[in-house]
Amino acid sequence: MTKTSKYIARACAQQGQSTVEFVVLGAVLVPLLLIVPLIGKHMDIAQATAVASRYVAFEGIARHSSSTDGWKSDADLAQEVRRRFFSNSDAPIKTHDMAGNFNAHRNPL
C-alpha cells in the first residue's frame, strides 16, 4: 500500500465523525441554553419573595392591626405587598399607595 492509499483509507474510516460530534454537542447545549431564562425567572421570583417577606415582617411588627396605633389590617398589608412586589415593573406609581386596577398590572408569572 502506498502512502496515498493509506491516507484515503484512513479518511474513509473517519467519515461522519464531525456530524456525530455536532449532534451530541447540540443535544447537550441546546437544552442548557433553553433552561438559562427559566433559571433567571426562578431567581427573580425567589428574590422578590424574600424582599416581600422582609417587608411584611417589618410592617407586621411596626404597624400591625393589634397594636394601639396600628393602621394596617392584615388584608391591607397583603394587598399592599401584592401591589408593590408582585406586579409588573412598568405598573404606574399610585398616589398614597392606593389600589387601582391591580389585575391589569399583575405579573403573569
Residue 43: predicted pLDDT: 94
Ranges of each domain in the chain: 32-105
pTM score, whole prediction: 0.59
The radius of gyration of the chain's CA atoms, rounded to the nearest angstrom, is 29
Which residue(s) pair with 87 in the sheet? 106
* Cα-Cα-Cα-Cα dihedral sign, residues 80, 86, 103, 101: positive
pLDDT of residue 65 exceeding 60, the answer is: yes
| Cβ neighbours of 56 (radius 10 Å) | 16
pLDDT at 71: 73
Condensed to tens digits (0 to 9), the pLDDT of residues 76-89 reads 888 888 888 887 77
Q: Return the pLDDT at 87.
A: 77
Cα distance between residue 80 and residue 96, in whole Å: 11
